[in-house]
Structure 1
Amino acid sequence: MLRSFLPALLAFTTALHATDYYVDPVSGDDHANGFATKADGTNGPVKTIARAVKAALPGDTVHLATAVYKESAVFHNRTGEPGKPITLDGHGATLDGSDALNPADWPEVSPGLFRNDNLLRLDDAVLQRWFFLWDGKMNHMGRTSKGLRPDLKKVEELQPGEWTFVKDDARSVPKSAQIFGSFYVKLPPGQELADAHIAAPMRSAGIQISGTNHWITIRNVNATHVYNDGYNIHGSCRDVVFEHIGAFECGDDGISAHDDCRYVVDGLVSIGNSTGIADTVDSVTEYDHVFIKDCLGVDLLFVGTNRHVIRNGIVLSHAHTPLSLSGTDPGTCSLLLDNVFIRREAEPAEARVSKGGALDLQHVTLLGCHLVAADGKVTMDDTVIGLAPEKNGLWGAARGAKAPALLKELTPHP
């Protein structure tokens, strides 16, 4: 009887142990089981994140090899358990949303001018976020999501190193937001497209969360060169934790909460995105240890009907708007900044608290920003508001201004 009991006990004990799954985009095989060893043909790392995340159960951890992945990590209706989250540990891996242009898909329509009629599924929101990478450098054509978006150039106006898009309304689908048209890239005459080192952002996000998700932990991972958000969180989520994550040069937000999402972030670096953080609707978020730099549209954007917190942060602001906070009628969107340093690295700009916004500044330094409470509410304690240091005469127009001038619009006004 004892002999028959022991195998069952062993199987039960094994089931209680968490499983570690390993992903390697170079040596992995999605027909393997994802375990670390390669004792036979079925063992060893899998090739794709999707394969490992699908297999993971409460308490399991998906480990990424420190590599560049041409793949998004998608969590849809995934649920861990209290004390046993499903964990993705990137170990410093990068999720890269861009792919090199395939010359076979881009015929040369005139000397140095190349066209693609079906690059990817498009709508106006994607187009306003769009960029190409030339030798690894983003080219927005002066346009950015949630910032300035001048009209795209006409094809005949393009100079080498530029791109544009021309809509084809004849291909439109009734009652659909999808748009059709052609992308054009311009190279110096005689240069081959294969030699131009151009890439396009073909994936929408690095980390994508949708549906209903509970007890998920994502750590030590970077997202870059996607056309939308580095970390795009939709649906309803609870007990979701991000630790030590980075978002670099994404077409829209570094990280963005939507809908009914609640999560915490400990350690965020957001550099070169259109928006550093953009949380909306009924989301509730808390950030600790934040560094934001070189964003284009808005550094900190919060709009909706709930509360948000940023503690221990540094924002070096190049964006068109350093901070924008507003509520959605009839609710209030509140933001607590605690021990946060914000400094304009460009000309002074407006940090605006609009109707339904409530901004609480605790131990904050705000330099080079005109803080405007436009029907919003601002409270401050142990907070300094003043001019940012002038750099190489860049802000000559601000020379001689006094700190009180930055405060004069703080009281609500129409």
Structure 2
Amino acid sequence: MRFLPLLFCLVITVPLFSREVSSKPLRLSKGGTAEQPFVFDGKGMVIDLGIDITDRAWKKDGDIWTSPGPVTEGELIAEGQHTGLFLDEVPVTLARDPVAERARRAVGKKGYAYHPPSLLKPGQMGCLEDGSLYFRWPASKKPGQASIILPSRKSTSGVTIACSHIIVKNITAMHAGNDGFNIHGSWKGIRLENIRALSNADEGISAHDDVQMQVDGAEIAWNGSSVGGVADVDRSTTLYTNCQVHDNVGAAFKFFGRSHSVTDTLIYNQTTDFTLGKETEFKQDRIERR
């Protein structure tokens, strides 16, 4: 089985480290050279930007729960955001009401509108004018038997890479308001090894602009973007191998960049495996599905 090296790495290697847990985002801006790339070894570090709001005095009406007033200061939902909560690992998606939003705009009101609690499907949520939120528990979670996690503020990614010639390994990014791993610019020689991007409000991994990146050994799961667990766009060039991609809200991979490939990878619990741009070069080999 070609996937055993990845499974061994995720299950056996990570517990040997100290597993430092950080609630602060990580920005990496020190690179090396093509001959000697800089190595950032997280040694099992977990960057968890989530805010646990389980202990709020929730109003409970069966499987529909409503918060007692605002759950955070400032804007709760960003433009384009598709997921606003996590119940343990599971994303809870926003039930936007486009008809109500058009009616708001017609009378000069800004902001979003959501379907009322009674119309929510399992695993959906909405927000009230005062910043309170409400959600219906997903079928996979028994009400009250999971932590309720609010992702970080809208523009925050777990790990931001802003340099060339760097190896980033043995690190988990979760509950970011934006991406787990975010890379913008013209950086090249980026390599991610044995990383996990779990339960982020947008993509797990996202490369933009002219980024050149390789990912070898990754679990990308339960991310809340409507487009993909991975979304590599613009003129990016990326290669993924030995990955597990599952249970993301959107496709497993969205590739709208210059050139992308995926090999020796396991994909499961995804409605769509790949979405591709018209001009995008794409190769796949030895993809297992279950």
Q: TM-score, structure 2 length as denominator? A: 0.70
The residue number in structure 1 matching 2:8 is none
Contact 2:262 2:284 in 1 (8 A): yes
CA distance in 2, matches of 1:323, 1:88: 30
Structure 1 residue 182 and structure 2 residue 182: aligned? no
Tell me how far 1:289 sits from its aligned partner.
1.1
User: Partner letter of residue 288 of structure 1?
Assistant: T
CA distance in 1, matches of 2:284, 2:262: 5
Contact 1:120 1:202 in 2 (8 A): no
Contact 1:298 1:322 in 2 (8 A): yes
Contact 2:83 2:94 in 1 (8 A): no
The residue number in structure 1 matching 2:286 is 339
CA distance in 2, matches of 1:250, 1:291: 16
Structure 1 residue 278 and structure 2 residue 231: aligned? yes
Contact 1:131 1:141 in 2 (8 A): yes
User: Partner letter of residue 183 of structure 1?
Assistant: S
CA distance in 2, matches of 1:259, 1:160: 36
The residue matched to 2:187 in structure 1 has which SS? strand
**In structure 1, which of residues 160, 166, 186 is the aligned counterpart of residue 128 of structure 2?**
166
- The sequence identity of aligned pairs, in percent, is 25
Contact 1:93 1:220 in 2 (8 A): yes
**In structure 2, which of residues 162, 167, 170 is the aligned counterpart of residue 217 of structure 1?**
167
CA distance in 1, matches of 2:58, 2:135: 12
User: Partner letter of residue 166 of structure 1?
Assistant: L
How large is the Cα RMSD of the aligned pairs?
3.5
User: Partner letter of residue 321 of structure 1?
Assistant: T
Any gaps of 5 or more consecutive residues in structure 1? 1-63, 145-150, 168-180, 188-194, 346-414
Contact 2:94 2:125 in 1 (8 A): no
The residue matched to 2:242 in structure 1 has which SS? strand
CA distance in 1, matches of 2:128, 2:18: 40
Alignment of 1:144-155 (within 5 A): 152-154=114-116
User: Partner letter of residue 181 of structure 2?
Assistant: Y
CA distance in 2, matches of 1:245, 1:119: 31
Structure 1 residue 123 and structure 2 residue 72: aligned? no
Contact 2:95 2:126 in 1 (8 A): no
CA distance in 2, matches of 1:255, 1:142: 21
Matched pairs, number:
241
The residue matched to 1:130 in structure 2 has which SS? strand
> What is the CA deviation profile of residues 296-327 of structure 1, one whole-angstrom value per residue up to 9, with x for unaligned ones?
211121113x11111211211x3332221113
Contact 2:92 2:123 in 1 (8 A): no
Tell me how far 1:75 sits from its aligned partner.
2.4
CA distance in 1, matches of 2:69, 2:120: 13
The residue number in structure 1 matching 2:68 is 114
CA distance in 1, matches of 2:89, 2:263: 31
Contact 1:112 1:186 in 2 (8 A): yes
User: Partner letter of residue 85 of structure 1?
Assistant: P
Cα 1:124/1:141, change in 2 over 3 Å: same
The residue number in structure 2 matching 1:356 is none
Asked which structure has the greater CA Rg, the reply is: 1
Contact 1:235 1:261 in 2 (8 A): yes
Alignment of 1:317-396 (within 5 A): 318-327=269-278, 332-341=279-288, 343=289
Structure 1 residue 310 and structure 2 residue 259: aligned? no
Cα 1:281/1:115, change in 2 over 3 Å: same
